[in-house]
Amino acid sequence: MAFGPAVLMLVVAGVTVANIREVALDQLWVTHTHEVIETLLIVQRETARAEASQRAYGLGGSAVQGARYGAAVGQTMTSLDHLVSLTADSPERQERGRDLTRRVRDLFEEPATDPAREADLDGVVAQAQSMADVERTLLSERRLTLDRERLRTLVVLAAGSLIAFVFGIAVNASIRANLAERTRKGVELQLMLLERNRALAELETSNGDLDQFAYVASHDLKAPLRGIANLSAWVEEDLGAAMTDGARDHLKRLRGRVHRMEALIDGILAYSRAGKATQPIETVAVGSLVREVVEILAVPEGRVAVRTTGSLPTLRTERVPLQQILMNLISNAVKHNAREGAEVQVEARRAEDAWELSVLDNGPGVPVEYRERIFGIFQRLDSRDKVEGAGIGLSIVQKLVTRRGGRVWVEESPSGGAAFRFTWPDPQ
């Protein structure tokens, strides 16, 4: 008789975790669409600015006009590369992005005196506007989907809290003699869950902003998850010898999925905040930073060797975002390289007014057809049964790099593994 409520709790908990993950996914896709629209607006603005600077320079303008033209062209092409990367989830939209890139490149290669230049500029602006309109339509659809998922999540959370409360009373009635203190704590936990869920409902209906949602996910959603994990452990203890092996396995899986969901929420929070906070500029020795990262990650000695190749630079830059990037790339290289004699190398080379930093390994590598997709949100090459992770790390890396005007990509390393490379600004 005690097993029935336990099964019901498992079902409700599973549905709750699934709904929370759907809400998080939908919120991220809304933010992703906003970023595509913003990138298209930057392309329009910088293309027009480049055109104006080129005309002024052609009419006898100063070297300043030429420099402005070069800066506008660089910003435009960087934004177009970012646009193609952002639309990796849709081959059709990505092809339109590549077509827009070709048209812009052709426009910049035309002589300043070419009479067709103005018409070509109008065509570029019109195509970018058309793509932005398509993204706005997609944004409306994704917002509707997000609203529906939020409502469903709130309903499931409320139902789950009620069922959990009733189950707590049933357990209290059956083991009152020797578990009075535990029952009291269980009731308090149920009341706390109800209060948390009420606060979550108010926040969800009053503010759809991503930052607010990330706060709710990290502070309000993790409390019910911990409550679910604690309740499952108590159920296992209370049933004792009456617990079947199958039921014990289900409870173990439930706790594993709760922990996985907590990791996913942490990843979503990190993604939403990536690159937004301004960090102080300081002197950073990249070689020392790599050694700190290896120590923080506790890379197992003897299984994976992490080395630096050549001389790594000392930069005047933001320390925290650069550390986040190196931690994600080195951690990925270690997790995905289970072979004997596994090695990870970090190297750098000067690239005009920036540094190109690389993290190389001798692992299985990344197939060509996945090299753009892996930077998308929740994109993974291996299942969680093989390698644990939320699939957000590379999205964070890309966001941190592109917000500073750089780019990140992956190619094959000389040893046949993966070589993740990114550019980092250094105007000195």
Please check the confidence at residue 382 and state whether its pLDDT lies above 70. no
Model confidence over 288-320: pLDDT tens digits?
Answer: 999 999 988 888 777 888 999 888 999 999 998
Among 67-76, 111-120, 369-378, where is mean pLDDT lowest? 111-120
Please check the confidence at residue 277 and state whether its pLDDT lies above 70. no
- Average pLDDT (335-349) is 87
Domain 281-425 class in CATH: alpha beta
Which band of pLDDT confidence, cut at 50, 70 and 90, is reported for residue 57?
low
Residue 354 is predicted with a pLDDT of 92
Which band of pLDDT confidence, cut at 50, 70 and 90, is reported for residue 196?
low
* Class of residue 263 by CB neighbours under 10 A (exposed 0-12, middle 13-18, buried 19+): middle
**Model pTM?**
0.42
Residue 347 is predicted with a pLDDT of 96
Model confidence over 319-328: pLDDT tens digits?
Answer: 989 999 999 9
Please check the confidence at residue 251 and state whether its pLDDT lies above 60. yes
Residue 359 is predicted with a pLDDT of 95
Q: Of 344, 350, 337, 261, nearest to 307 (Cα)?
A: 344
Residue 181 is predicted with a pLDDT of 76
Which band of pLDDT confidence, cut at 50, 70 and 90, is reported for residue 265?
low
Task: Tell me if residue 420 falls in helix, strand or coil.
Answer: strand
Domain spans in the chain, listed from the N-terminal domain onward = 1-273, 281-425
Please check the confidence at residue 62 and state whether its pLDDT lies above 70. no
Look up tokens 């296992």; give the residue: 236
Residue 222 is predicted with a pLDDT of 59
Kindly state the percentage of the chain with pLDDT values over 70.
74
- Average pLDDT (350-356) is 89
Average pLDDT of every residue of the chain: 78
Contacts 24+ apart (CB under 8 A), 310-314: 310/347, 310/348, 311/287, 311/348, 312/285, 312/286, 312/287, 312/346, 312/347, 312/348, 313/286, 313/348, 313/350, 313/355, 313/426, 314/283, 314/284, 314/285, 314/286
Model confidence over 45-55: pLDDT tens digits?
Answer: 888 777 777 67
Residue 378 is predicted with a pLDDT of 65
